[in-house]
Amino acid sequence: MKFLNPVCFFTCFIALSSIVYGQQELRLIPQRCATMENLELQWRANPSLQKKFEEERDRFNKAARAGNYRLAPGQKTQHNGNRSYIMIPVVFHIVLSDPSVVTDAQIQAQLDTLNKDYAGLNGDSVKVPSYFKSVFGQSGIQFCLAQQTPDGEPTTGIERVTTSKTSFSNTDNGVKHAATGGADSWDPSSYLNIWICPIANQILGYATFPGAGADDEQGVVADYRSIPGGSLSGYNGGKTITHETGHYFNLYHIWGDDDGLCTGSDFIDDTPNQANSSSACISGVKTDNCTPSGTGIMYQNYMDYTLDDCLVMFTVQQVARMESALVAYRPSLLISSGCKPAVSYNLDAQLKSIRQPAQRICSVPFVPVIIIRNRGVAQLTSLNITTVLDNTTTATTQWTGSLAQLASVVDSLKPIAAAPGNHILKIYTSDPNNGIDQNTVNDTLSVNFQYSPPVTSVSESFEGTQFPPTGWDIVNPDNAITWQKVTGVAKTGNSSVVIKNINYSAVGQKDYLRLPVVDLGDPGKVIDSAFVSFQVAAATYSDINTSGNTWDTLEVVASTDCGQTYTSLYKKFGSTLVTRKAHDTAAFVPSANEWRKDSIDISSYIGTPGLLLAFKNTTGFENNIYLDDVNVHTLSVNKNLKSSGFLVTPNPTRGNIIVQFYPQPKDVRAIQVFTMNGQKVAEIIPAGQSNYYAIDISRYSAGLYIVRIVKGGEVMVKKIVKY
């Protein structure tokens, strides 16, 4: 039994070491589990989240002890002899450069281990010492490989995904998202998602506690070498997933994560107080400074760090806590149909996805692109497809072809015109093989999109009431923290935009703030150059001199295919990005002098229609980045200036003259003004090179003057008239 001391509730990892000869390499395993580390990262990013989490944990503890969360007799529907079980559907996402390395047999062995461990039927349970037999727990929770996907399609419960990533970090949950080289979760309310992958930083696994983490990141992650048949000697018995699934059902480490202070808690009364995690295989009574006598600590418990062969038990109260957590936090798993075989129909045409339009279209008319899938048993040879824009039917076309069961095809539909603004496109299928579709729930999809005509320039300081402004949009793939308008912080005016990376614990996530589509061309004007400029303010959380750190990164990217692909034009991070040199562990808010104007030459895109520019933030869990005064503008050079290389204007003049060069010179030594009698009345000796110089001769009398330019080894002159 342990007693709660919130001050001591922090991450602690004790070094475990094991010599492993997989592929003839020595490997040390210093951290078995990173679940608590991940929780601490979330709390660092948002201290109020920690308070909320701990308040909810305390509420659950009281309610569970009062017996408020109990499985109803009817919820245990699967029977094995005299015992009833709850069946939880599981999907294993195997994410590797070669996913075939993990076999179906290994996954089945892992599932068998998980089920035996939870039911208390593992042969290793004979290792439970006599003095712990009275608290040996047997759970009613069991696990099946999913037999149908969230869309109702048949599955083996094993998804293999090929990735280019050599490993995944526990700190960014990249393995849980296809956009970052991983695999998207299946509906976490209906499946236990388990990701099998290589994990960086010598970590074996991690999981999400109930109430912590994003909904689409709920589940368990384990290193592929830790499952049965894996190469991590001592840790390849499949107990890592047993341990992490315990966290998923609200169990804590048996030692209370208090670094040996004996004041932490796992909130379980029938586990002895324990100073720290165990390592290796132990035998007999083991005591420590928290339990210095009696039967000692319970190093045999799945929530310890002992080697796999010596992890053999949950306790009665751990079992009760997991089942209570299932009822309190994950009740939809109890009614999931994932363990049931998928239902097949003879005629079942599925509109699988709408590939185009995406969130934005850049020109009209546009062509919808869809994917059709045959979910039926019968060969699919024809299908009617109807498009509806803003509740108005635009066309019904017939697709013909030949699709076997579960085969798919991409189809482009008739072009559709759209006025500027926001729209809803609905597409539905009907009449497969000129018959009746026997499953209509997968026939219809809708997509929201926007269209704004191209503009020739952009000038935006985010002072308007609408955000994003007209023609702008935000791409937020993970539906988490993204670009937002902020008032009271600005370079000019009262508003700017910010992305709060200090609260964005996921590393490597990308968010786009996209400008209106620009056409850098005017039929009546020759454009010589084009630029995008903006004010930026940024700081880091970490010391700027930290080597090997992952920094927040700001890019300006350009697309000529309406956002399907991008080219990076500007990329800054760390010391090249910040405008406050000292790192800041509080949320960065820039002062008036902590802004910097950056400009990018985009002249190469002159004449390219449909240019889409965007600010792209890639998270490094550092600090806030602000933007203001975004401008896209073009410049046209006077044709006389282009032909002669320099120009003096106006001529005649009242006294103020401008000397311009094209292109910008590198060797202007002097610009002088003389009277016709040879008297020098003005002179500029450039400290640096420019293509623009202003001279004032207004205090001199009217008459004829000579402008003399010394450029490199040549002298150029121009007569002007002052009146």
According to CATH, what is the number of the domain 639-722? 2.60.40.3080
611 phi, psi to nearest 5 deg: -80, 125
DSSP-derived secondary structure letter, 547: T
Query: How do the domains of the chain map onto residue ranges?
Result: 6-139+188-333, 349-451, 458-635, 639-722
At 17 the pLDDT is 33
Residues 358/563, Cβ–Cβ less than 8 Å: yes
In angstroms, rounded to a whole number, what is the distance separating the alpha carbons of residues 75 and 92? 24
State the Cα–Cα distance between residues 394 and 472, nearest whole angstrom: 27
By the 8 A CB rule, do 538 and 626 touch? yes
Give the class (CATH, top level) of 349-451: mainly beta
Chain centroid, CA 269 distance in Å: 39
Cα angle value 552/517/467 (rounded, 5°): 60
- The DSSP result for 107-135, as a single string, is HHHHHHHHHHHHHT--GGGGGS-GGGGGG
Q: State whether residue 614 is helix, strand or coil.
A: strand
244 is catalytic: yes
Q: Is the pLDDT of residue 11 over 80?
A: no
Report the pLDDT value the prediction gives residue 29, as an integer from 0 to 100.
41
Is residue 413 within 8 A of residue 342, CB to CB? The reply is no
The whole-number average pLDDT for the span 520-543 is 85
Catalytic option among 37, 159, 244, 594: 244
pLDDT of 1 reads 42
Sign of CA dihedral 343, 81, 325, 252: negative
Residue 336 · residue 91 · CB < 8 Å: no
Note the pLDDT tens digit of each residue in 364-398: 999 999 999 999 999 999 999 999 999 999 999 99
pLDDT at 18 over 50: no
> What is the C-alpha to C-alpha distance for residues 173 and 181, in angstroms, rounded to an integer?
10
Distance CA 279, CA 307 (A): 6
Residue 650 has pLDDT above 90, yes or no: yes
Q: What pLDDT, in 10s, does the model give residues 153-193?
A: 899 999 999 999 999 999 888 999 998 899 999 999 999 99
Using DSSP's 3-state secondary structure scheme, residue 610 falls into coil
CB 352 within 8 A of CB 359: no
Give the residue carrying structure tokens 């303010």: 537
pLDDT digits (tens, 9 = 90+) for 659-673: 998 888 889 999 999
pLDDT on residue 525: 59
In this structure, what is the dihedral angle of CA atoms 322, 328, 332, 334, given to the nearest 10 degrees? Answer: 50
190 residue type, one letter = S
CB 205 within 8 A of CB 154: no
Residue 647 φ/ψ, nearest 5 degrees: -150, 140
CATH class of 458-635: mainly beta
Quick check: do 458-635 and 639-722 share a fold?
A: no
3-state helix, strand, coil split of the chain in percent (to 5) is 20, 35, 50
**What is the per-residue DSSP string for 623-657?**
--EEEEEEEEEEE---HHHHHHSEEEESSSBSSEE
Query: Distance (Å, rounded) from C-alpha 156 to C-alpha 342?
Result: 11
| Fold designation for 6-139+188-333 | Collagenase (Catalytic Domain) (3.40.390)
Bigger pLDDT: 126 vs 111: 111
Query: Residue 82: pLDDT band by 50, 70, 90 thresholds?
Result: low
Q: CA nearest 427: which of 412, 408, 438, 409?
A: 412
Give the count of beta carbons closer than 10 Å to the beta carbon of residue 33: 24
Q: Is the predicted pLDDT of residue 630 greater than 90, yes or no?
A: yes
Q: Parallel, antiparallel, or unpaired: how do β-strands 625-635 and 458-460 relate? A: antiparallel
Give residue 184's pLDDT: 96
Predicted pLDDT at 77: 52
Q: Which residues contact 77 (CB under 8 A, 6 or more apart)?
A: 84, 85, 86, 87
CB 351 within 8 A of CB 372: yes
Query: What is the predicted pLDDT for the residue at 539?
Result: 97
